[in-house]
Amino acid sequence: MQRSTTMLAAEKRQSTPKKFDFRSFMKLISTIHPHYWQLGLGLLLGLVATAGQLIVPTIAKSLINALGHAVNMNLVIGVVGLFIGSALISAGSGAVLGFFGEDVVAKLRNKLWAKLLVLPVSYFDTTKSGEITSRLVNDFTQVKDLLANSVPRMVTALMQLIGALILMLMMDWKMTAIMFAVVPLVILIFLPVATQSRKIAFSRQENLAAFSGEAGDVLGAVRLVKSSNAEAVEKKTGDARIDRLYRLGLKEAVYDAVAQPVMTTLMMGMIVGVLAYGASRVASGS
């Protein structure tokens, strides 16, 4: 009876997952007082590396235009130096952001561990120990990826987009206008696939935590299971969870397999279209 109540409570929590609230997430992060200077330094280094990468095409343009004449060694050295310098600065940015992510994860785990130890016993009656362990171990890895990878990449990508837009407008505003008219269309086509893939990944994470919790409970009370001759019941429950994870894994594999070719095809189509337009302008002398 106690196990049935626990399972029902867990199913209820899983069926009504809370929507991610970025404001609450950042409020939680602020309570652990992370080393924000590491985040700032990592982002700054990333922006410097991005700026260097944006300058390379401008110098390369001058180098290509000078190929018919004597090779300008200063330009060659400048391009190579920018490539190497940008790579080194980018590596430093990644290392600093990685340190920041590890610091946040360690402090969050300490905070959660301290919280778990003072929770009432009634909480553990309705929450599987394996699920708690999964949250303590696996979910914080996602937090690290968000803070150390996703957010910095978004900032540097935005910087690259703005910088590339400015450079392209300076070189050829007509072709730039066409490109930025096509890009939103490509995103709109790809957005449903990306959204569904994200939902499946979230559902898989939830079911993985639930399966981890049930497996931990059963293995922790294996003597009780055997004395109650409940092996068949537990096998049926475990098989159902494994089958659900398997089906979600298949869906995730299909969407991941479709997403990459679709995105590649759309991008190649856009590039070919822009190149065709550029070739027509070159042919017409405009």
Task: Evaluate if residue 250 carries a pLDDT over 80.
Answer: yes
Are both 109 and 237 inside the same structural domain? no
Are both 162 and 53 inside the same structural domain? yes
Task: Evaluate if residue 13 carries a pLDDT over 70.
Answer: no
Q: Is 146 exposed, middle or buried (0-12, 13-18, 19+ CB in 10 A)?
A: middle
Average pLDDT over residues 244-257: 82
Mean of the per-residue pLDDT values of the chain: 76
Confidence (pLDDT) at 269:
74
Report the domain count for the chain.
2
Are both 159 and 117 inside the same structural domain? yes
Average pLDDT over residues 13-17: 48
Angle, CA 212 vertex, CA 2 and CA 223 arms, to 5°: 50
pLDDT tens, residue by residue, 88-108: 988 888 888 888 888 888 888
CATH of the domain at 155: 1.20.1560.10
In this structure, of 19-23, 85-89, 201-205, 238-242, the range with the lowest mean pLDDT score is: 19-23
Are both 159 and 54 inside the same structural domain? yes
Task: Evaluate if residue 47 carries a pLDDT over 80.
Answer: yes
Are both 178 and 272 inside the same structural domain? yes
The whole-angstrom separation of Cα 214 and Cα 211 is 5
Evaluate if pTM is beyond 0.85. Answer: no
Are both 115 and 193 inside the same structural domain? no
Q: Which domain holds residue 218?
A: 173-286
Q: Examine the fold and report which residue of 137, 171, 205 is the final residue of a domain before the chain moves on.
A: 171
Band of residue 9 on the pLDDT scale cut at 50, 70, 90: very low
pLDDT tens, residue by residue, 123-145: 877 877 777 777 777 777 777 77
Band of residue 12 on the pLDDT scale cut at 50, 70, 90: very low
Are both 212 and 161 inside the same structural domain? no
Are both 119 and 255 inside the same structural domain? no
